[in-house]
Structure 1
Amino acid sequence: MELLKNYIPVSETEQRYKEKMLELYETKGEQAFNRSNLEAHFTASAWIVDPYSKEILLLHHKKLNKWLQPGGHADGETNLEAVARKEVKEETALENLHLIRDEIFDIDIHLIPENKGIPQHEHFDVRFAYFCNDIEKTQINFESNDFHWINLDKVESLTNEPSILRMKAKSKLLLNGI
């Protein structure tokens, strides 16, 4: 949780997310990393950028019917960066990832609707940014309908999700720095 404690939010919304995440960890401890904690639990995801084309990878999530970045449940793992990498490999077959910075890229709390007897709950998502230039190796698994490597300037053609647009803005700043 040291990474989260050191994370500097870019908005009041992210500040509230950080406070809620730290409170969840303080009250639930490592149980906060298990989906058996039905009200809320930690997840991790990956914002993947091709540094040459300046495209990002989005997957069309079957259950949620939305374009999102790869990610998923921690399932007891407290190293959320490792969870993000594992989820990328499972969901996209990509392995050649280069963590851009040894810090959290973004945080988000979002509501997951009830599904197959699992009640509505919150995902406390911790996101890491990676460079990957093996985009031709991208494959998807059963959790997604499709994938797109899309230029940052065209993200809105797929989604207007506020957290995706926030990460898009952060990416532009990040890419201007390289």
Structure 2
Amino acid sequence: MDRKILKTLLENYRTPFEEEKQFVDDFIALTDDPIAYSRERKKGHFTASSWIVNRRRTHTLLGLHRKLQKWLQLGGHADGNENLLEVAMTEAKEESGLASLRLVDRFIFDIDRHIIPTYGEDAQHFHYDVRFLIEAEMDEPLVISPESKSLAWVSFDMVEELVGHNISILRMLEKTSKSEIII
């Protein structure tokens, strides 16, 4: 996947969620900026993440982000890589240790633009996060990376309690409950 493919996928991306509709055009415009795949673009840049679920769609894997102190899906910066699916899969493997990761039916599962607060020398900026639906086996051992303080398979009925009112995570949870289960 390069920036042309990403742009096409975003142009064809449809969502029933108003909060996503509000920033689809911003994502599309950003694909043409060569530094949008790098932290060099200080106003905001692409990131990629994985909404990891078990095969039966009863649990999701979340990490307690070390810097942000929030339970989130696994993912990270593109760091120059325009293949955001590759970025998401690499980050998921590095941050979880899981070997059974596999892409599920839809290519782009979700998109979200959110503000990252000032941290150290990094000023406040936007992350334009492209998310992919990934399945994994829950019985594999988890390996906590330096990015996280903890990892946990969280049952769908406990996600909201853990993440609070994080609209984007609740949106992915709702999308997951509507996706087809392949057994």
TM-score between both structures, scaled by the size of structure 2: 0.90
Match of 2:15 in 1: 9
| Number of aligned residues | 176
Match of 1:76 in 2: 80
Corresponding residue SS for 1:37: coil
Which residue identity lines up with residue 55 of structure 1 in the other structure?
Answer: H
Query: Shift of residue 22 of structure 1?
Result: 1.0
Distance 1:91 1:121 in 2: 23
Which residue identity lines up with residue 176 of structure 2 in the other structure?
Answer: S
Which residue identity lines up with residue 140 of structure 2 in the other structure?
Answer: E
Match of 1:168 in 2: 173
Match of 2:43 in 1: 39
Distance 1:119 1:149 in 2: 32
Q: CA RMSD in A?
A: 1.6
Q: Is the 8 A contact 2:93 2:101 kept in 1?
A: no
2:92 to 79, 83, 88: 88
Query: Shift of residue 142 of structure 1?
Result: 1.0
Query: Shift of residue 63 of structure 1?
Result: 0.5
Query: Shift of residue 116 of structure 1?
Result: 1.2
Match of 2:3 in 1: none
1:142-157 equivalences in 2 (<5 Å): 142-157=146-161
Q: Is the 8 A contact 2:62 2:71 kept in 1?
A: yes
Higher helix share: 1
The 4+ residue runs of structure 1 with deviation greater than 6 A are none
Which residue identity lines up with residue 60 of structure 1 in the other structure?
Answer: L
Query: Shift of residue 52 of structure 1?
Result: 3.2
Q: Is the 8 A contact 2:88 2:131 kept in 1?
A: yes
| Structure 2 residue 110 is matched with structure 1 residue 106 | yes
Structure 1's unaligned 5+ residue stretches are: none
Match of 1:158 in 2: 162
Query: Shift of residue 37 of structure 1?
Result: 0.5
Q: Is the 8 A contact 1:55 1:152 kept in 2?
A: yes
1:45-64 equivalences in 2 (<5 Å): 45-52=49-56, 54-64=58-68
Does 118-127 or 146-155 show the bigger shift? 146-155
Which residue identity lines up with residue 12 of structure 1 in the other structure?
Answer: E
- Taking a change above 3 Å as real, the CA distance of residues 39 and 53 of structure 1, as seen in their structure-2 partners, is closer
Corresponding residue SS for 1:158: helix
Structure 2's unaligned 5+ residue stretches are: 1-5
Does 32-41 or 87-96 show the bigger shift? 87-96
1:118 to 106, 109, 122: 122
Q: Is the 8 A contact 1:51 1:175 kept in 2?
A: no
1:121-132 equivalences in 2 (<5 Å): 121-132=125-136
Query: Shift of residue 145 of structure 1?
Result: 0.8
